[in-house]
Amino acid sequence: MLSDGAVLLKLEGISKYYGSFKANDQISLEILPGEIHALLGENGAGKSTLVKMLYGSLQPDEGQIHWEGNAVNINNPAEARELGVGMVFQHFSLFNALTVAENVALALPPGKSLKQVSQELEEISSSYGLPLQANARIHDLSVGERQRVEIVRCLLQHPKLIILDEPTSVLTPQESEDLFKVLRRLSDEGKAILYISHKLSEVQSLCQEATILRHGQVVGECVPGDETPISLAKMMVGSDIHELSPREVAVAEGEVVLKVSNLTLDGETGFDTRLQNVSFTLHRGEISGVAGIAGNGQNELFDAISGERLSEPSAVEINGEPVGQKGILQRRQLGAMYISEERLGHAAVPEFSLSENVILTRHGIENNLSDGLFVSRKSARDVKDQIVEKFDVRKGTADPLAQSLSGGNLQKFVLGREVMGDADIIIVNQPTWGVDAGSAAHIRQTLVDLAETGAAILVISQDLDELFEVTDAIATLTEGQLSEFVPTRSTNRQQVGLQMTSDAH
């Protein structure tokens, strides 16, 4: 149908506006059949918006999409699928309580029985090396297997273009390699792949062409194999990235400030992870890292240490004092500060101003803010100003709503709020998730500096690169069980990656 060399997908001057904000600004690119094309850019560069327009979830405000040489309007995902565009989402659109076959059938046009769908999906999945059981329930599957369901669901519709949005953010290093094998095979079969990522090493090894977005515009096109990660990063960010100053720290030598002993906690809902016999110590002046893919108990561990979930009294000890039954406010008063994964909706109230969000976690520990009865909004504004200055929080107005800040700036604010007053113990969950490279570097340097002044820090993160850059000791959390902490210098990504794979699969 398509002659060799003819372009499969061509975007011409695509723009998308939200009010006065240009999410996509005159974007043009071309993809040939069988090409693995990377879409590179930081968080907020406009990659997801562009891709949603290819998939029919959004319509462009300007510009034209050309498919196989014809100008098309893709009005909804069903039309996109009919054209031959398939998408594997970053955040899976799967129903946990349904089976694999049921989830796949939901995306297919009507006409096939569930049995037919089951047969087809099992055939296709095993032929591509992504074996799946049609009657397995999603919530029993690992994240890697759930992604397989998304991919197989896509393949069953015989796409000509497959879009993958940050697929390896939820995979172990080994699973990522397996995925790349599948993608290379699909490319050999003539399917084009649009690969969205901010992981430069992957893009280099996998992709043949790359388009780089920054602030909604195309700022560069290149062949990734000809570039270095640093040159790619520079194009993505537009400037040099601050390099972290390395630390030489002996592990497990400082005074023990936080001790978790045999922490066992049942999940609150059917889909939570049960923590089993988690034990470790945090030492003054050290940064300890907990690696692991999302969904292995990170949030449960965080909630148990913060006090949002109570446990046995001696399961958690702060400076020797059993606090398992004490709430989060009391734990903060003992010098432990917490930075949660979700900035909006957990660490901060999106519709409140920054100064009001200061009161949120500091009301029990800063006397100027509240005497127990009244709150002083003026003091809150003063603290907010201090945080903004010290942590380089960029914002529009003097005291904006939390939701109007970019991810990176809000994260800097949230971090600054917690560490302002000489925190002894800092527990942070996903410190730089969704944060631009500049702010991420700033945040990591802040953590390192805090450890230098004697704080004990626990970093829970899905980003192995980050953990290897910042931590002194590292352990993995798999299905609610924590491995032994080992000095970071004595291990490497492969070993940790192996530990992250659960035994059952």
Partner 1 sequence: MKLELSKRSAPSIVMTYLSPLIGLSLALVAGAIMFMFLGKPPLQALYAYFIEPISELWSVHELLIKAAPLILMGAGLCVCYQSNNWNIGAEGQMIIGGMAGSALPVMFPEFSGPLVLPLMIVFGMLGGMLYAAIPALLKTRFKTNEILTSLMLVYVAQMILDWTVRGPWRNPEGLNFPETRRFDAFARIPEMLPADGRANFGFIIAIVVAILIWVLMSKTLKGFQVKVIGASPRAAKFAGFDAKHMVFFAFMLAGATAGLAGTIEVAGATGQLLPTISPGYGFTAIIVAFLGRLNPIGAIVAGLVLALTFLGGEAAQITIGVSDKAARVFQGLILFFVLACDTLILYRVRLIFGDKTAAKGAA
Are 361 and 328 in contact, with CB atoms under 8 Å apart?
no
Q: Which two tokens stand for residue 235?
A: 């194009």
Q: What is the closest distance, in whole angstroms, from the C-beta atom of residue 370 to partner 1 in the complex?
A: 5
CA dihedral of residues 438, 444, 446, 450 (deg, nearest 10): 180
Specify the pairing of strand 192-197 against strand 36-40.
parallel
Stretch that binds partner 1, among 130-138, 160-168, 400-408, 419-427 (CB under 8 A): 400-408
Q: How many residues does the chain have?
A: 505
- The enclosing H or E element of 358 equals helix 354-362
Stretch that binds partner 1, among 4-12, 104-112, 321-329, 423-431 (CB under 8 A): 321-329
One of 230, 329, 398, 498 touching partner 1 (CB under 8 A): 329
Are 299 and 467 in contact, with CB atoms under 8 Å apart?
no
Nearer to partner 1, 6 or 329 (CB): 329
CA–CA gap between residue 118 and residue 263 (Å, rounded) = 41
Q: Does 268 bind partner 1 (CB under 8 A)?
A: no
Nearer to partner 1, 129 or 327 (CB): 327
Secondary structure string (H, E, C) spanning 461-492: ECCHHHHHHHCCEEEEEECCEECCCEEHHHCC
Q: Does 347 bind partner 1 (CB under 8 A)?
A: yes
- Residues whose CB falls within 8 Å of the CB of residue 169, separated by 6 or more in sequence, listed in order: 90, 462
Q: What is the closest distance, in whole angstroms, from the C-beta atom of residue 403 to partner 1 in the complex?
A: 9
Q: What is the closest distance, in whole angstroms, from the C-beta atom of residue 31 to partner 1 in the complex?
A: 23
One of 240, 351, 452, 484 touching partner 1 (CB under 8 A): 351
Nearer to partner 1, 153 or 331 (CB): 331
Nearer to partner 1, 64 or 261 (CB): 64
Q: Which two tokens stand for residue 368?
A: 């100027």
Q: Does 399 bind partner 1 (CB under 8 A)?
A: no
Q: What is the closest distance, in whole angstroms, from the C-beta atom of residue 66 to partner 1 in the complex?
A: 16
3-state secondary structure of 452: helix
Location of structure tokens 């040159």 = 231
Sign of CA dihedral 100, 103, 106, 109: negative
One of 98, 108, 244, 360 touching partner 1 (CB under 8 A): 360
Q: Does 62 bind partner 1 (CB under 8 A)?
A: yes
- 406-425 positions binding partner 1, by CB under 8 A: none
Nearer to partner 1, 208 or 403 (CB): 403
One of 43, 340, 429, 488 touching partner 1 (CB under 8 A): 340
Q: Does 338 bind partner 1 (CB under 8 A)?
A: yes
Nearer to partner 1, 65 or 232 (CB): 65
Q: Does 217 bind partner 1 (CB under 8 A)?
A: no
From 498, 441, 445, 496, select the one nearest 473 (Cα to Cα).
496
Q: Does 173 bind partner 1 (CB under 8 A)?
A: no
Q: Which two tokens stand for residue 225?
A: 């194999």
Are 61 and 231 in contact, with CB atoms under 8 Å apart?
no
The CB density around residue 60, as the number of other CB atoms within 10 Å, is 21
- The enclosing H or E element of 177 equals helix 173-188
Nearer to partner 1, 216 or 497 (CB): 216
Q: What is the closest distance, in whole angstroms, from the C-beta atom of residue 15 to partner 1 in the complex?
A: 9
What is residue 60's DSSP assignment? -
Q: What is the closest distance, in whole angstroms, from the C-beta atom of residue 217 to partner 1 in the complex?
A: 17
Q: What is the closest distance, in whole angstroms, from the C-beta atom of residue 209 to partner 1 in the complex?
A: 29
**What would the x/- binding string for partner 1 be over residues 13 to 42, using CB under 8 A?**
----xxxxx---------------------
Are 338 and 457 in contact, with CB atoms under 8 Å apart?
no
Are 399 and 388 in contact, with CB atoms under 8 Å apart?
no
Nearer to partner 1, 198 or 332 (CB): 332
Which residues contribute to the site for partner 1 (CB under 8 A)?
Answer: 17-21, 59-62, 306-308, 327-329, 332, 338, 340, 342, 345-352, 356, 359-361, 363-364, 370, 372-375, 400-401, 404
